[in-house]
Structure 1
Amino acid sequence: MLVLSRRVGERLIIGDNIVITVIDVRSDGVRIGIDAPREVRVTRAEILEAVTQANVEATRSADDDAVEALRALRPPTPPAPAAASGASAPETPAAQSAKPAVTPAKPAAPRR
């Protein structure tokens, strides 16, 4: 880290196009001005940290809610298969209605 002492009105130049100017010095802080191109993002560190933390918390709670919502959608577990005797469990009405209807094939029309 570079540490410099500057007086009001003095500037720092970063690269070719970023200028930092000391605007005011008070007992509780320093006011600076930053002149940079629009494509250069200038963000206060405490704001960036607060936004990052809020995003992490939002993601965590959203994940928990999503997991619970998916668990609520899970269908009930199917009944255990019948013993090896070959008998099958009776189908529930929901299972019967889920089967596609089978229609007999129509005989082909005779050719003339």
Structure 2
Amino acid sequence: MLVIKRKQGESLLIGDNIEINIVSLENGSVKLAISAPKSVTILRKELYKEIEEENQKAVSFDLSALKNLKK
């Protein structure tokens, strides 16, 4: 993991086509502006985990529900 310090108004580059700008720093919170190609998915980690959990729920199913359909 790379740890890097940036000040408001500074940025960093990831590869040739992703730029992250530090827009503001307030009350222990950082506001970022991310420029990336539309093909790059950008998600907050907590949202990613929530989607992952929902996907896991969607693939697990109750066999008794299938038995009820047979009737």
In the superposition, the TM-score normalised over structure 2's length comes to 0.85
SS of structure 2 residue aligned to 1:37 = coil
Structure number with the higher strand fraction is: 2
Structure 1 residue aligned with 2:4 = 4
Amino acid at match of 2:34: I
Q: Quote how far apart the aligned CAs of 1:69 are.
A: 3.6
Structure 1 residue 71 corresponds to structure 2 residue 67: yes
> Displaced runs of 4+ in structure 1, greater than 4 A?
none
- Output one character per residue of 1:58-80: Cα deviation in whole Å (capped at 9) or x when no partner: 332xx20xx21433427xxxxxx
Q: Quote how far apart the aligned CAs of 1:41 are.
A: 1.2
The number of residues matched between the two structures is: 70
RMSD: 1.6
Higher Cα Rg, which structure:
1
Structure 2 residue aligned with 1:80 = none
Structure 1 residue aligned with 2:59 = 59
Which of 1 and 2 has higher RCO (CA within 8 Å, sep 6+)? 2
Unaligned runs of 5+ in 1: 75-112
Unaligned runs of 5+ in 2: none
In the superposition, the TM-score normalised over structure 1's length comes to 0.56
